[in-house]
């Protein structure tokens, strides 16, 4: 099973296409400017000797530029933009020029501690930055056919491969990411050594004695021992859970530590399992997936705690203090996508879709220039999206996710085709060996569950079209060429249509998309007695700006009256609102009383908006889970 | 307004009388044994030179013995018990013999640091222990007419009065209690100097420079500076809120710091306001009362935090972690009683009654030998009442409360009479100048709201009988001598019957006592969406032993079915249960899901018991506030 790459997919709808346009018109130029003004781009110029000066910012800032180059590369494919294309080429030139003769590329170490390369793999992110460089090189090559950055990436990858591995130095990234990047590099170049190196990084992790344990013994560690000890020791002893280095991957069953690192590791491990067929890794990933489903916000957020930017324990999912980093939801999308490719089951895409439409998308403002690092599920007010961060991993991450969205919509096996996401647009694929097929989706998803699919092979072809039936959908209808088609979803979650397809065959899928109340497992203490609303893939939330009738935190949704979904094209870029009836406590009851036998409940019209759209009209109160 | 003293009141009912009997038969001998075996009594013997050896235990352990002597003294009046009467006299003898020639009495300082008396008033509790000695002396005199311990108390009080005050040393108790004790001593002896000293301790507090601030400068402080600084400084500077020494009493408007200290101070201040007519103190107490009503558990618990054993902020009333010390609820009873005496309003007695029947009474097990220090409003299991504590303030405090209960039932002004608590038994009072009146209550309160009152003056007398209409009661009926009497409660909360009373007049009061659901102010975050049950003065709770149907923490009470109160004479010493219908989540829904669109709710019969009776059948889960 492989994905239909972004280069073969166009998006033409009123949900994602405008977001990709905003990505091109607002987000990418905004982030380029941020990278410029914060010295991130100049760090490369300095390392290249093009200008003089000291390294600026945090030691892993290179990665932000790499991710932004990757995002811009995808966007060249869908929404090229003369306003920044020249600058992008210049940035790539500068990055390339900063590469050292031996292939090494990291502006921090080149400028600040050139003698201390690879000495602090646990904390200093050289391999992590390298991974993002590789992903940028691959994306730029795929989008433009230009090999310059890909060559840079390969030279660096060769150096890393010559440095680390069996019979060479032991080494592992403290922050994962290079694993899945090496797999991409291997696939695009055909170089097996990159796949082997990825496998080494995935499978070496968690074996004793640990690379990190040894680094802890270095009194002259670049970056110093303090932060290292904080993250890698407990009670004075080495402890690897923070970066998932506590057990070999095959023995891991619990999602632990820093959530983004975990997601990137599991995604890379899924790539390796797919490439090698390693059953031990696949079984571990099954167990880890089972575990993440006990640690998952309803929005697709993961990692509730700011303390370790990561996981805590099953069912610990506080709302107000939810960390749920944007990058972690994006990482979950990476992992879920690869789990689908590995196992062909729609349940992984269900989680992917949830994270995409909610916990990841909430990371960016509607205007494309404000970003959440944390994505809480409730707020007492005072939350803002920010134009940038000192540690700016999230803004370019959401930009590359949006730019590369096409790749998540379709997948194919040797013969057959899968539609995973319902997104208006087209895909060009080869099916049934050599038949060129143009596939078109026309839909107003996620606002509507109606999808018209046109299957247009250049010659009649027999293959199976697998349509994902989302887990939120209990009822659906299908017409093929106007005639009712009777089918059920299989246990893998797909509805398979196996037939000979002809030019301009149409499949009309109508997914029932009711408004539903959802409840959380009773062990999720913060949600006891509460429910949330969702409609289709969208989780809804309540903001006090829509529900200003005092006592916001006492908001209850009542079930005894009509509830309706209605599209409002003027609001928040066009959204389907949910309107119903709710109650709040009447504040006048409580002026002089702490306890009240019969507090009045003021009935009122209540309005919910999609969670992703919250905090675009001021910094008021918000709640996903209400009574 | 003054109370009808415990010496003039008998209790004969099936709720309190058995508890007073248990107090005599179980609690007092159990606590005497604890005081014996932990060296508390021997500390006095050692200080008296009767035996040799070192001081044992905590420096304020004398106070536990004093409180127990006080409790036993009350009990001599109602349930004398040959099993411990002799020992009580011996204990009193030993305490008396430990008194130093100059009147000083404190076994810790006499044995351990005789040169360091009065040097650490902030932490070492000399004045607090003295106060409890005074209360014991007064109670023993009132109960038995014996003056021995009262004389000991007076000699020590004279020393303290000769030591501290205007023109003498500045001094204040770090832990209050001596204020109200001196008022008792003044009343029973007629000595004005004790009242003046009490007034000095109440009104000197919070003035700058503080006694405590000065003690902080003593490098040779008995007990050391560490604990002192912990409680009396913030960021290295003196900060008096822990013991309410931050502001003069007239300027205090917020309940702060250690809850027991606060309650004892406010109670003493109310005594002083009543004695002196100080409007500034009365106004401050009004403000403090208004504030405590934002910081009050529904059970009458105060002081939510274990950190300072005390107050935090308005509406911060967590259930699981509620500290709500037994002594603090008892202190609240002291304060509320005195606020009633000061202002003649029933709202104070409403709080007194709530604390008495719930947050204080929960402090003791049904068998009389187990004690809670903390009284949480919810438990995940594992809570126990303990036979004793290293810091054993609560066990003798609940014993003296139960022993002295008679004094809270009635009050009188020069001419008129008040019934505050409905408790079966009798009272002997003088009304209308010189008429001897015997008043009898026959009632099954708190299980029933029906009270038959017989008013039996020895000669016809005109006076007003004021019956408290509890705040939980919306409807009531009265018959006088079998005829309906039409009356409403006045704004002070009392129903006044002003008439000429004759021998054996009867008043039949029927207070409607429905089961009611009560809600908390929406700012009480833990209780959002939840309600509690009460019936009459009793707050109810749910224990998993009665509601074992799994998923205890998802317990909801449903309102669409019958709910009934039924007396079960076999259970927990005889209680009125509340039975109704509830739901819990069906655990089978949640085996593999974190979120569920339509979780099943298992309907089940649910049973609630009075909160005070919880944790008498094992250490299971409990909740007052359910959904």
Statement: residue A414 has pLDDT above 90: no
Helices B82-97 and B148-163, packing angle to 10 deg:
30
pLDDT in tens, B95-116: 999 999 999 999 999 999 999 9
- How high is the pLDDT of residue A463? 96
Q: Please name the helix (run of DSSP H) or strand (run of DSSP E) that holds residue B267, with its range, or none.
A: helix B259-276
CA angle A392, A393, A394 (to 5 degrees): 95
Whether omega for the bond prior to residue B209 falls within 30 degrees of 0, making it cis, is yes
| For testing contact with chain A, the best of B293, B472, B521, B611 (most A CBs within 10 A) | B521
Mean pLDDT on A346-367: 98
Statement: residue B379 has pLDDT above 90: yes
Give the residue among A568, A396, A407, A383 at the shortest CA–CA distance from A16: A407
Cα–Cα distances (Å) from A27 to A70, A104, A369, B265, in that order, read 13, 30, 6, 63
Three-class HEC string of B463-487: EEEEEECCCCCCCEEEEECCEECCC
**B594: nearest CB among A294, A472, A585:** A294
* DSSP count for chain B of H helices, then E strands: 17, 24
Chain A: which residues have CB within 8 Å of chain B?
293-294, 296, 298, 315, 472, 516-522, 524-525, 528-530, 551, 553-554, 556, 585, 590, 592-597, 599, 627
A314 exposure class (CB count in 10 Å sphere: 0-12, 13-18, 19+): middle
Q: Is A260 helix (H, G, I), strand (E, B) or coil?
A: helix
Query: Of the ranges A244-248, A407-411, B79-83, which one carries the lowest mean pLDDT score?
Result: B79-83
| A521/B594 CB distance under 8 A | yes
pLDDT in tens, A422-469: 999 999 999 988 899 999 999 999 999 999 999 999 999 999 999 999
Contact B462, B442 (CB under 8 A): no
pLDDT in tens, A7-44: 999 999 999 999 999 999 999 999 999 999 999 999 99
Statement: residue A209 has pLDDT above 90: no
Q: Is B274 helix (H, G, I), strand (E, B) or coil?
A: helix
- How high is the pLDDT of residue A560? 83
Q: Please name the helix (run of DSSP H) or strand (run of DSSP E) that holds residue A156, with its range, or none.
A: helix A148-163
**Spacing of C-alpha A221 from chain mean position:** 33
Residue the block writes with tokens 């009665």 = B546
d(CA A28, CA A400): 9
Query: In angstroms, what separates the C-alpha of B44 from chain A's closest C-alpha?
Result: 46
Give the residue among B420, B454, B456 at the shortest CA–CA distance from B435: B456
Statement: residue B430 has pLDDT above 90: yes
- How high is the pLDDT of residue A175? 98
B514 exposure class (CB count in 10 Å sphere: 0-12, 13-18, 19+): middle
Statement: residue A589 has pLDDT above 90: no
What is the maximum span of chain B, computed from C-alpha positions, in angstroms?
Answer: 79
Q: What share of chain B is helix, strand, coil (3-state, %, to 5)?
A: 40, 20, 40
Contact B153, B134 (CB under 8 A): yes
Statement: residue A587 has pLDDT above 90: no
pLDDT in tens, A113-160: 999 999 999 999 999 999 999 999 999 999 999 999 999 999 999 999
d(CA A613, CA A621): 13
| B594/A520 CB distance under 8 A | yes
Statement: residue A543 has pLDDT above 90: yes
Residue the block writes with tokens 């911060």 = B316
**How many residues appear in chain A?**
627
Query: Of the ranges A144-153, A225-234, A260-269, A359-368, which one carries the lowest mean pLDDT score?
Result: A225-234
Q: Please name the helix (run of DSSP H) or strand (run of DSSP E) that holds residue B583, with its range, or none.
A: strand B575-585
Count other Cβ atoms within 10 Å, centred on residue B320.
14
- How high is the pLDDT of residue B598? 84
| For testing contact with chain B, the best of A556, A590, A595 (most B CBs within 10 A) | A595
Whole-model pTM? Answer: 0.90
pLDDT in tens, A257-303: 999 999 999 999 999 999 999 999 999 999 999 999 999 999 999 99
pLDDT in tens, B240-275: 999 999 999 999 999 999 999 999 999 999 999 999
Give the DSSP per-residue string, A353-413: HHIIIIIIGGGB-TTSS-B-SS--SEESS----BS--SS-SHHHHHHHHHHTGGGGTEEE-
- How high is the pLDDT of residue B268? 98
Count other Cβ atoms within 10 Å, centred on residue A599.
21
| B627/A529 CB distance under 8 A | yes
d(CA B562, CA B453): 33
**Spacing of C-alpha B511 from chain mean position:** 25
Residue the block writes with tokens 């708190």 = B446
Mean pLDDT on B162-190: 97
| A528/B596 CB distance under 8 A | no
| B594/A293 CB distance under 8 A | yes
pLDDT in tens, B141-175: 999 999 999 999 999 999 999 999 999 999 999 99
Query: In angstroms, what separates the C-alpha of B269 from chain A's closest C-alpha?
Result: 24
**B595: nearest CB among A520, A528, A627:** A520
Contact B337, B303 (CB under 8 A): no
pLDDT in tens, B541-586: 999 999 998 889 899 999 888 999 999 999 999 999 999 999 999 9
Mean pLDDT on B304-330: 97
| B554/A528 CB distance under 8 A | yes
d(CA A257, CA A447): 36
Count other Cβ atoms within 10 Å, centred on residue A130.
26
Q: What are the φ and ψ backbone dihedral angles of A538, each rounded to 5 degrees? A: -95, 125
Statement: residue A189 has pLDDT above 90: yes
Residues near B486 by Cβ (< 8 Å), separated by ≥ 6? none
Q: What is the arrangement of strands in the sheet containing A425-431, beginning at the earlier edge strand?
A: A9-11, A425-431, A435-443, A450-457, A505-511, A476-480, A483-484
Cα–Cα distances (Å) from A226 to A150, A221, A260, B377, B395, in that order, read 36, 10, 22, 43, 49
Query: In angstroms, what separates the C-alpha of A239 from chain B's closest C-alpha?
Result: 29
d(CA A453, CA B517): 56
**B596: nearest CB among A518, A551, A627:** A518
Pairs of CB atoms within 8 A across A/B:
79
- How high is the pLDDT of residue B4? 97
d(CA B106, CA B123): 14
Considering only CB atoms, which chain B residues are within 8 Å of A520?
594-596
As beta bridge partners, residue A442 has A452
Query: In angstroms, what separates the C-alpha of B529 from chain A's closest C-alpha?
Result: 6
d(CA A202, CA A185): 16
Contact B123, B228 (CB under 8 A): yes
- How high is the pLDDT of residue A520? 96
Mean pLDDT on B433-437: 91
Considering only CB atoms, which chain A residues are within 8 Å of B594?
293-294, 296, 315, 520-521, 524
d(CA B459, CA B412): 18
- How high is the pLDDT of residue B282? 98
**A529: nearest CB among B294, B530, B595:** B530
């Amino acid at each position: 099973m492989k994905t239909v790459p972004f280069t073969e997919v166009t998006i033409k709808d009123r949900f994602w296409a405008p977001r990709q346009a905003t990505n091109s018109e607002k987000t990418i130029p905004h982030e380029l400017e941020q990278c410029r003004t914060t010295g991130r781009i100049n760090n490369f110029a300095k390392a290249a000797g093009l200008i003089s000066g000291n390294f600026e910012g945090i030691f892993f800032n290179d990665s932000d530029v790499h991710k932004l180059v990757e995002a811009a590369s995808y966007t060249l494919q869908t929404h090229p933009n003369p306003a920044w294309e020249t600058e992008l080429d210049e940035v790539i030139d500068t990055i390339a020029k900063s590469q050292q003769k031996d292939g090494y590329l990291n502006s921090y170490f080149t400028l600040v501690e050139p003698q201390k390369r690879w000495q602090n793999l646990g904390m200093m992110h050289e391999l992590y930055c390298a991974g993002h460089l590789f992903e940028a090189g691959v994306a730029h090559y795929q989008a433009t056919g230009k090999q310059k950055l890909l060559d840079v990436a390969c030279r660096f990858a060769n150096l890393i491969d010559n440095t680390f591995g069996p019979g060479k130095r032991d080494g592992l990234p403290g922050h994962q990411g290079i694993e899945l990047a090496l797999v991409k590099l291997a696939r695009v170049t055909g170089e097996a050594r990159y796949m082997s190196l990825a496998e080494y990084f995935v499978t070496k992790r968690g074996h004793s004695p640990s690379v990190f344990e040894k680094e802890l013994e270095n009194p002259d560690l670049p970056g110093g021992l303090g932060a290292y000890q904080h993250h890698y020791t407990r009670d004075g002893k080495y402890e690897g859970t923070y970066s998932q280095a506590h057990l070999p991957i095959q023995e891991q069953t619990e999602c632990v530590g820093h959530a983004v690192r975990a997601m990137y590791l599991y995604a890379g491990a899924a790539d390796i399992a797919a490439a090698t067929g390693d059953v031990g890794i696949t079984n571990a990933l099954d167990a880890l997936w089972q575990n993440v489903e006990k640690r998952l916000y309803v929005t697709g957020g993961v990692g509730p705690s700011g303390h370790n930017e990561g996981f805590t324990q099953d069912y610990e999912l506080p709302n107000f203090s939810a960390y749920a980093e944007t990058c972690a939801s994006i990482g979950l999308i990476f992992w879920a996508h690869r789990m689908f490719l590995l196992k062909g089951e729609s349940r992984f895409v269900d989680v992917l879709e949830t994270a995409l439409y909610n916990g990841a998308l909430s990371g960016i403002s509607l205007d494309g220039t404000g970003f959440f690092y944390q994505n809480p599920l409730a707020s007492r007010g005072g939350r803002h999206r920010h134009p940038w961060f000192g540690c700016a991993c999230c803004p370019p991450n959401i930009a590359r996710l949006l730019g590369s969205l096409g790749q998540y919509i379709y997948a194919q096996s040797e013969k057959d085709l899968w539609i995973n996401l319902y997104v208006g647009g087209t895909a060009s694929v080869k099916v049934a060996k050599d038949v060129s097929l143009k596939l078109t989706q026309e839909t107003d998803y996620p606002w509507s569950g109606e999808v018209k699919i046109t299957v247009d092979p250049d010659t009649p072809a027999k293959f199976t079209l697998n349509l994902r039936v989302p887990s939120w959908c209990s009822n659906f209808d299908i017409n093929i060429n106007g005639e009712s088609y009777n089918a059920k979803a299989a246990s893998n979650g797909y509805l398979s249509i196996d037939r000979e397809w002809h030019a301009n065959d149409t499949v009309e899928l109508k997914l029932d998309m009711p408004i539903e109340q959802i409840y959380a497992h009773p062990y999720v203490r913060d949600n006891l007695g509460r429910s949330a609303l969702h409609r289709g893939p969208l989780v809804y939330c309540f903001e006090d700006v829509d529900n200003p009738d005092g006592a916001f935190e006492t908001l209850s949704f009542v079930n005894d009256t009509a509830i309706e979904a209605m599209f409002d094209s003027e609001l928040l870029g066009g959204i389907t609102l949910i309107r119903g009836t709710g109650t709040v406590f009447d504040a006048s009851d409580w002026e002089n009383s702490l306890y009240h036998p019969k507090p009045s409940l003021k009935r009122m019209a209540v309005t919910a908006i999609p969670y992703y759209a919250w905090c675009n009209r001021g910094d008021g109160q918000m709640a996903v889970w209400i009574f």
